């Protein structure tokens, strides 16, 4: 069986890894000319996330690359500290730079999968027995299945579900490489910024360019959620942010890694794999989606005052951290037969 994966972020390489362990051949096509190693810290929390990393043999490597969790300090424009979001609340159990994670997953899968950089899918023709795929640069090829793991602005999603638009949540954010402490935040109504990132409120719904066309190092997006009745059509399905995205502050990275394991296992098991994948991952993913915009950068001074009071309370109220943990662990991982 040959599977085409569009996108070499987190979900794509994780799926390529698992497909090879289940004896399925994977080709990963990534639009950027090389692995995009940008981004701030992402985290894993709870046994489902950790268990998949452990089964991949990567938990120790992820722990070795882990960042040191730090409180997020919120300052007014006068520089005075207004509030603090405890590290225990933001960092999960293992926090790692997204770029380091993407590199680890790529390196763990590269020997067994074909990676094609600087190309993307332009057309999909599903005839029920396979999918003929056209690319912007490479020659057309045929695959048994196609998986869109190409992020919030997924090209495979656009081709397969042309009328679908993610739900805009009223905020935008940008991330870029910068020196300085990315946890030392300056806030004003509807705006939060720190070295390397900014989050801001805007009522204007987006029509955005692919972000590598804005600048190769910058990740710019709206805060949006992907909630579709089904993420599959025929022999094509969506994984990670493409199918279940909630950009920033959700648990997108842990979700992507767990979902990649399930999708690969179900494909290997045969039959109506996508239906079983969606039945397992869909409800889990919806429980993990959130919109951190109003929580982090409320639009009014009163909202900021309330936020600061709530943050002061979080340390003393582990119930909030447990809510995240409950969502992150709300899946029973199936056991699949590995060929190696
Ligand atoms: C550069 C970058 C930085 C990020 N930084 C953060 C962060 O700091 N904090 C955070 O919470 N989340 C961040 N994210 C998002 C986070 O990685 C995801 O929410 C999560 O890990 C799920 O990963 P994913 O693989 O589904 O999507 P992504 O990690 O977004 O990966 C999608 C991949 O698909 C590629 N792609 C896009 N369009 C196409 C196409 N048409 N054809 C082929 N390939 C395509 C993209 O270049 C990218 O490599 C970042 C994503 C990127 C790409």
Tokens of 243: 């199918």
- CB 246 less than 6 A from any atom of ligand 1: no
Ligand 1 pocket test, pick from 45, 118, 151 with the greatest ligand atom count within 8 Å of Cβ, gives 151
Q: Return the number of other C-beta atoms located less than 10 Å from residue 53's C-beta.
A: 24
Residue 67 lies in a domain: yes
Query: Confidence class of residue 318 from pLDDT cuts 50, 70 and 90?
Result: low
Question: In degrees, to the nearest 5, what angle opens at C-alpha 31 toward C-alphas 27 and 35?
Answer: 80
Q: Among 73-87, 152-166, 189-203, 302-316, which stretch is predicted with the lowest mean pLDDT? A: 302-316
> What's the gap in Å between 335 CA and the centre of ligand 1?
28
Residue 337 lies in a domain: no
Q: Among 30-39, 70-79, 198-207, 220-229, which stretch is predicted with the lowest mean pLDDT? A: 198-207
CATH at residue 220: 3.50.50.60
Tell me, what's the pLDDT at 213? 62
Tell me, what's the pLDDT at 246? 85
Report whether 123 contacts 135 (CB < 8 A).
no
- Assess whether pLDDT exceeds 90 at residue 321: no
Specify the residue with its C-alpha closest to ligand 1, atom 29.
9
Report whether 283 contacts 40 (CB < 8 A).
no
> What's the gap in Å between 241 CA and the centre of ligand 1?
8
Residue 338 lies in a domain: no
- The range of the structural domain enclosing residue 145 comes to 2-328
How is the chain split among helix, strand and coil, in percent rounded to 5? 35, 25, 40
Q: Return the number of other C-beta atoms located less than 10 Å from residue 137's C-beta.
A: 10
Report whether 226 contacts 241 (CB < 8 A).
yes
* Residues with Cβ within 8 Å of residue 229, at least 6 apart in sequence: none
Cα–Cα dist 182/188, whole Å? 17
Interval 19-36 mean pLDDT: 96
Query: Confidence class of residue 88 from pLDDT cuts 50, 70 and 90?
Result: confident
What total number of domains does the chain contain?
Answer: 1
- Assess whether pLDDT exceeds 70 at residue 214: no
Residue 98 lies in a domain: yes
> What's the gap in Å between 322 CA and the centre of ligand 1?
27
Residue bearing tokens 């972000």: 211
- Assess whether pLDDT exceeds 80 at residue 115: yes
230-250 burial, b at 16+ Cβ within 10 Å, e below that, comes to ebbeebbbbbbbbbbbbbbbb
If you ran DSSP here, which 8-state letter would residue 251 be given? -
> What's the gap in Å between 249 CA and the centre of ligand 1?
14
Ligand 1 pocket test, pick from 150, 153, 162 with the greatest ligand atom count within 8 Å of Cβ, gives 150
Of 19, 33, 235, the C-alpha closest to 113 is 19
Ligand 1 pocket test, pick from 62, 67, 98, 116 with the greatest ligand atom count within 8 Å of Cβ, gives 98
> What's the gap in Å between 63 CA and the centre of ligand 1?
21
**Residue 14 CA, closest ligand 1 atom number:** 25
Report pLDDT digits (tens) over 245-304: 987 765 899 999 999 999 999 999 999 999 999 999 999 999 988 778 888 899 999 999
Residue 272 lies in a domain: yes
β-pairing, 2-6 vs 25-30, is: parallel
Tokens of 159: 């081709």
Residue 91 lies in a domain: yes
Percent of the chain scoring above 90 in pLDDT: 71
Tell me, what's the pLDDT at 69? 84
Task: For 7-55, give the secondary structure using H, E and C.
Answer: CCCCHHHHHHHHHHHCCCEEEEEECCCCCCCCCCEEEECHHHHHHHHHH
Cα–Cα dist 69/90, whole Å? 8
Of 149, 160, 127, 151, the C-alpha closest to 26 is 149
Specify the length of the chain in residues.
340
> Whole-model pTM above 0.85?
yes
Angle between the 98-109 and 11-21 helix axes, to the nearest 10 degrees? 30
């Amino acid at each position: 069986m040959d599977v085409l994966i569009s996108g070499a972020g987190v979900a794509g390489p994780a799926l390529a890894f698992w497909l090879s362990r289940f004896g399925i051949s994977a080709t990963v096509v990534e639009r950027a000319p090389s692995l995009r190693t940008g981004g701030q810290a992402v985290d894993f929390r709870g046994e489902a996330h950790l268990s998949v990393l452990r089964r991949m043999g990567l938990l120790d490597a992820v722990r070795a690359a882990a960042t040191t969790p730090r409180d997020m300090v919120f300052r007014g424009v006068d520089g005075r500290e207004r509030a603090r979001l405890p590290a225990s609340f933001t960092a999960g159990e293992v926090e790692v730079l997204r770029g380091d994670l993407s590199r680890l997953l790529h390196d763990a899968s590269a020997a067994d999968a074909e990676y094609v950089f600087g190309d993307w899918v332009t057309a999909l023709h599903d005839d029920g027995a396979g999918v003929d795929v056209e690319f912007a640069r490479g020659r057309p090829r045929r695959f048994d299945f196609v998986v869109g793991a190409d992020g919030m602005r997924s090209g495979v999603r656009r081709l397969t579900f042309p009328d679908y638009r993610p739900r805009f949540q009223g905020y935008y954010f940008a991330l870029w490489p910068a020196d300085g402490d990315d946890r030392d935040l300056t806030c004003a109504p509807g705006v939060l910024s720190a070295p390397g990132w900014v989050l801001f409120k805007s009522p204007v719904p987006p029509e955005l360019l692919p972000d590598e066309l804005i600048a190769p190092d910058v990740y710019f997006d709206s805060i949006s959620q992907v909630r579709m009745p089904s993420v599959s059509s025929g022999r094509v399905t969506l994984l990670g942010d493409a199918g279940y995205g909630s950009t920033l502050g959700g648990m997108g990275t842990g979700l992507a890694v767990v979902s990649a394991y399930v999708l690969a296992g179900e494909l290997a098991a045969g039959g109506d794999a996508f239906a079983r994948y969606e039945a397992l991952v869909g409800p889990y993913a919806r429980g993990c989606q959130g919109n951190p915009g109003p929580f982090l950068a409320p639009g009014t001074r009163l909202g900021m005052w309330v936020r600061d009071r709530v943050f002061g309370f979080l340390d003393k109220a582990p119930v909030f951290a447990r809510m995240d943990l409950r969502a992150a662990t709300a899946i029973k991982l199936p056991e699949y037969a590995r060929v190696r």
